[in-house]
Amino acid sequence: MADDSKGVLGHLPPLPRAALNNSVIAMEQAYRKRKGLPLISDADVEALKAGTPMSWEEGGSGVVASAPTASALPAAATAAENAAPAVVAAPAAGGAISEEVAKWVAEGKQWSKSAIAAEQARRKRKNLPALNDAEASALLGEPVEATAATVPAAPAAASPAPVAVAASGPISDEVKKWVAEGKKWSKSSVAAEQARRKRKSLPALTDTEVTALLGEPAETGAPVPAAVPAAVPAAVPAAAGAPRPAASAAASVARTGESTRYVGTPAVGTSKAAAAGGVASVGPENTPINQGRRVFAWSMVAAFLTAWFIAFFRFFLPRTLFEPATSFKIGYPADYGLGVDTKWQQKYRIWVDRTPDRMFVIYARCTHLGCTPDWKPSENKFKCPCHGSGYDSEGVNFEGPAPRPMDRAHVEIAPDGQILVDVSKLYQWPKGQPSHFNEGDGTSGAWLRA
Ligand code: FES
């Protein structure tokens, strides 16, 4: 590959030349790959980065002093090819501009890449020859290479036949093997393979190889496929000197393969026209980082949908407050001794109080502003931590801002002999009014007979 670059300047600026950065060199490499030109060798890349002459340029480290800078010699140009006139090899890479296209260009209409893709699709539908490189470049307003532009469309009959083979390309042994294995390749698989080859700096799959891998029928007149020996270089037939039929199907196939690459990037797999133009096989590279991005994006989508569905179904469930029961059993009367028992304070907010003659349940809520007082056994009183209200052991207020004694809950003896408490029914002793603490008969009411 390195030797092949001798003499091909491509779009590189001539000497004297400033140092080029990686992106400029990469663009040049991509351009050469599109055009079938020899890639820049590693040594020449270094020279370009350093701003020094390439090996084959005058002043470079190579032996070739001068090269035809505007030449469009094919990638596999050999010594034999050097004998062939450059003007003959040029049309194989670019193609001639038809009168129709020349007319469009003369009209000054500005064509976009998508418009060209649509035109390619139309031509494919109508079984017309596809736009070739030179035509696409002309329509896009890109500079057409001098050698290619000078070749008239009609006299192509005198030019050599290599075009079809050069553009379609042979099928490598590796691809033949894949085809023979019968594996079905999708367009994205082909795109991934192209990306892999690009990463590895391997030659890209030719149109013929892509067609074979996709299992598509080879177009009539295509001289290639499997029968073409893999060792035949793309532009070698130029030396054969076989006359090229100007309007042959082979030429049309060749032009299709090359020119459609102009519209690959902006319309990747996004339209029928792009697909028809042959760009569907050029998709995002299937690199690990792209795979990771896809996984992340789909995970986000899945998470969003999951959350949305959960919220949606939660809408149908009742908004229920799970509060403790207001009626409950607290054991047998014999379970309690004299004095205050605080074991149900946390669970039911009550104290069980037993005096020598009766049992009752105090609801643990300060009558000032509703705090829960603390039982102070050493002081034999309840003390509210909020504002200091004090209650004696039976819950009767005697200090602080509390306006009345703490309320007592309804108690009764359940059929099983346990004490049944109901805090939804409270007995009060409002300030200045009669007390309700004595309500009941000792088996049901504000108190129980001890
Ligand atoms: S809430 Fe108990 S003293 Fe104020």
Question: From CA 85, how far away is CA 23, in angstroms rounded?
Answer: 33
pTM for this entry: 0.35
pLDDT at 8 over 60: yes
d(C-alpha 243, C-alpha 227), whole Å: 21
Does 208 share its domain with 265? yes
In a domain, 220, yes or no: yes
Give me the residues paired with residue 329 across strands. Answer: 420
From the CB of 366, is ligand 1 less than 6 Å away? yes
Cα–ligand 1 centroid distance for 385 (angstroms): 7
Task: Label residue 199 exposed, middle or buried (CB < 10 Å: 0-12, 13-18, 19+).
Answer: exposed
Whether residues 97 and 58 fall in one domain: no
Ligand 1 atom with least separation from CA of 389: 3
Q: Which of 387, 398, 399 for mutating ligand 1's site (highest number of atoms within 8 Å of CB)?
A: 387
pLDDT digits (tens, 9 = 90+) for 72-85: 334 333 433 443 33
Amino acid 389: pLDDT: 96
Q: Residue 41: give the domain boundaries.
A: 3-69
Ligand 1 pocket test target in 389, 398, 399 with most atoms within 8 Å of CB: 389
- pLDDT tens-digit profile of 34-58? 888 888 888 888 888 888 888 877 7
- Which amino acid does the sequence have at 346? Q
Q: Is 227 within a domain?
A: yes
Could you report the per-residue pLDDT of 277-320, keeping only the tens digit for each? 555 445 677 888 999 999 999 999 999 999 999 999 998 988 87
Distances (CA, A) of 227 to 52, 185, 218, 231, 253: 44, 21, 12, 11, 17
Q: What is the pLDDT of residue 276?
A: 57
Please check whether residues 54 and 101 belong to one and the same domain.
no
Number of compact structural domains in the chain: 3
- Dump strand ranges (E) for 364-418: 374-376, 381-383, 390-392, 397-399, 408-413
Has residue 342 got a pLDDT over 70?
A: yes
431 with 348, same domain: the answer is: yes
* Residue of 332 and 249 predicted with greater confidence: 332
Same domain, 129 and 246: yes
Are 123 and 186 in a shared domain?
Answer: yes
**Surface-to-core class of residue 219, CB atoms within 10 Å of its CB (0-12 exposed, 13-18 middle, 19+ buried):** middle
Report the separation in Å between the CA atom of 438 and the middle of ligand 1, taken as the mean of its atom positions. Answer: 25
